[in-house]
Chains A and B, each alone.
Chain A
Amino acid sequence: MCAKSVDKASLSMIEKAAADNVKLTWDRLEAQEPQCGFGKLGICCRNCNMGPCRIDPFGEGPQEGVCGAGADTIVMRNVLRAIASGAASHSDHGRGIAMTLHDSAKGMAKDYPIKDENKLKAIAGELGIAVAGKNADDIALEVTSILLEEFGCTKGHLDFVKRVPEKRRKLWSQLGITPRGIDREVVESMHRTHIGVDNDYVSLALQGLRTSLSDGWGGSTIATELSDVLFGTPKPVKGKSNLGVLQEDQVNIILHGHEPTLSDLIVHAAREPELLEMAKAKGAKGINVCGMCCTGNEILMRHGVPVAGNFLQQELAIVTGAVEAMVVDIQCIMPALPQIAGCYHTKVISTSSKAKFPGAEHIEMDEHNAFEVAKKIVRAAVENFDNRKPEKVNIPSETMEYMAGFSAEAILEALGGSLNPLIDAIKSGSIKGIAAIVGCNNPKYKQDHSHITFARQLIKEDVLVVGTGCAMIACAKNGLLLPEAAAGAGPGLKAVCESLGIPPVLHMGSCVDISRILYVAAAIANTLNADISDLPVVAAAPEWMSEKAVSIGVYAVASGIYTILGTVPPVLGSKRVTELLTEGAKDVVGATFAVEENPEKAAGLALQHIAQKRTALGI
């Protein structure tokens, strides 16, 4: 088997796991292989109990399910359900943040004061709320009541669609894909994919676009914007990454999952004198809070908290034997964690009422008494320090510094308050274009290899890279988020980075923060009086695996951004759906998907696309 990771810290912990007789995701993948061909092609359907049905991909056996649905219908229905799940995940996260801000404004969540009043006012302005003479809580109440309405919206379109360039809004309107309500689109997608409802793959695909847009310009945007209000809008900040951030002589707490709500307070709780004293009494020199995956991204963007790793390192962090508590909230948390923790002393602590894990301790998050919950969790971690087994501890030495925190506001500030310097750099060709790298890890592909190969290739060709999620943690671990990484950039990009003191790869946050990338893309298009699809911009999800990534990819394409997938989506069982996604969509929304597993070739596709767009713009 080819190497499982390019990350030396990962590789050494994979070896340790084998020695400790601990089974990891790669072992489970091997046990699953060969994986089901029908599933990989997207041609199995379990939507009703006349099935399960499968289509013979080689034309010999059945070409229709019991209900009569063929490959096109089945594949597209399955994709639409994946989009709905992904959109639901981002949007429910957004709803949680909105509810917390709402409770805070009502005085019911005292641990969540409003941190960024300016941002709150800016959002209020966008929503048409007069702010003069109102205090922050009053404004927040009005903002959250409008934004919570977006979930069950009856007015027919989402408010943040106003951010979208006019040409694109018109296009969406003509196609009938302007998102009407966040919950509505998800519910309608589930309705349409029920037996005997929407059976036309084109119609299903259009609903897929609309549902994903309700995520990108709805749920995810709300999550990002209101997180900034509650926890502060990120500004450039430095920190460290990779498993080496764990400290042998300290109580190590890893915050894993996706939300900033509890994790932000745990960062503060770990600084409480009484808890630090308690840790000292146990012989620990301190309490070391580290992030992982997007919870990690949320807190590193705002506090420079060390990030222990990305998706495929969640098990490996426990394998170090040095983690007292792995605190998890929602999304991308492997159900295997409690079992692995059982081989060491680590406590897996689940905190969300939505996400429970057999074998984990559950300390439920309560927004109304959050700091107390946070302290309780930190206390549980400190108490567990006694149980650490020194003979099982082995922390890899690898760490790498990063500079993150590039919110749209921070980028504007770095540019001196206007996007024009960036646009001028793109026009002059010193920056050829922008590539957004987002998404997960996937054990079917060497961890981080595609992310960093793709990123390196692009910056070398003067393409500014922005990104979020596990992709950016991969870049962090490889030094690409440092201003010094500009040395590996082409001359044009290098000069821009050096003059602004920024890295060539800008970390813009967690996966809901892809809304920041949409915002910047829309703002550039608006400045140029163009559509997003006219811009020399590409997106890539080189190692994606989650349903959220499906929703993201689709809203990127629906927003006009050519999107390259590095892992093969389960659609190849229908030639028509495949053709629609990779070619036909161009005539519909001005952008398509491409699938390319080789990151060097994927970079070639990205560069080719950027060159074409530049030619079309006459720059």
Chain B
Amino acid sequence: MLPEVYNDFELCTGCKSCEIACAIEHSTSKDLFGAVFERQYPRKRIFVCAAAGQSIPLNCHHCEDAPCLHACPAGALYREENIVKHAGERCLGCGACQMACPFGVIARLPNSKVVAKCDGCPDRQTPACVDACPTGAVKFGDPSAMEHIRRQKIAQKLRVNL
């Protein structure tokens, strides 16, 4: 199976390393010190949000039945393997996908209505956000292995409560 991004919210410390790494990966120079001097700042596509004291990394889940893809009137969103991709040149900048996204993770390019979304880091083996996460809150792997990890964690908790 193709690997997928998977988040373990409990491990997120809110450091935002994933956000920075995502922005750098989508910069021209692909380098932190270069990116901060680019005329047009790169846009991140992962967002660490705070909710009731817990930090929650929100990113594209590349949904099977992707609402963004259905919402796009221009055909700018399309699926390539398991990744929902965005063709900037076809984007109308209507924002329909943004409104449709259940995770709110479709952003806009600076000073533009054209959107920017997770592209799964096509130039990398592992997405930049996953490599940058110091605690493993943002994971990338075989979905069945991820399910296994999650079940194990839940089993541990249940065991404690027995």
Seen from chain A, the residues whose Cβ lies within 8 Å of a Cβ on chain B are: 34, 36-38, 40-41, 54, 56-61, 568, 572-573, 575
Contacts and interface: CB of A to CB of B under 8 A. Distances in A.
A34 B21 contact: yes
Contact of A57 (B17, B20, B110, B132): B20
A503 B24 CA distance: 46
Interface of B: 15-17, 19-21, 23-24, 32-33, 35-37, 41-44, 107, 110, 131-132
A58 B43 contact: yes
A38 B36 contact: no
B44 A40 contact: no
29 contacts: A34-B17, A34-B21, A34-B132, A36-B15, A36-B17, A37-B17, A37-B21, A37-B24, A37-B32, A38-B16, A38-B20, A40-B32, A41-B36, A56-B19, A57-B23, A57-B35, A57-B36, A58-B41, A58-B44, A59-B110, A60-B43, A60-B107, A60-B110, A61-B19, A568-B33, A572-B33, A572-B36, A572-B37, A575-B37
Contacts of A36: 15, 17, 20
Contacts, number: 45
Max count, chain B CB within 10 A of own CB: residue among A34, A54, A573: A34
A56 B23 CA distance: 11
A567 to B, nearest CB: 11
A37 B23 CA distance: 11
A60 B33 contact: no
Contacts of B131: 34
A602 to B, nearest CB: 16
A40 B24 CA distance: 13
Nearest to A35: B17
Contacts of A575: 37
Contacts of B36: 41, 57-58, 572-573
B32 A59 contact: no
A54 B43 CA distance: 17
Nearest to B32: A37
Contact of A60 (B17, B24, B32, B44): B44
Contacts of B132: 34
A58 B35 contact: yes
Nearest to B128: A34
Given A41-B36, A575-B37, 6 more contacts: A36-B15, A37-B20, A37-B32, A57-B35, A59-B110, A60-B44
Nearest to A71: B36
A13 B50 CA distance: 47
A103 B132 CA distance: 54
A59 B41 CA distance: 7
A184 B159 CA distance: 59
A57 B37 CA distance: 10
Contacts of B35: 57-58
A616 B51 CA distance: 62
Contacts of B21: 34, 37
Contacts of B15: 36
Contacts of A58: 23, 35-36, 41-44
Nearest to A597: B33
Nearest to B21: A34
A153 to B, nearest CB: 40
Nearest to A36: B17
A132 to B, nearest CB: 60
Shortest 8 CB-CB distances between A and B: which pairs? Answer: A37-B20, A58-B41, A59-B41, A58-B23, A57-B36, A34-B132, A37-B32, A572-B36
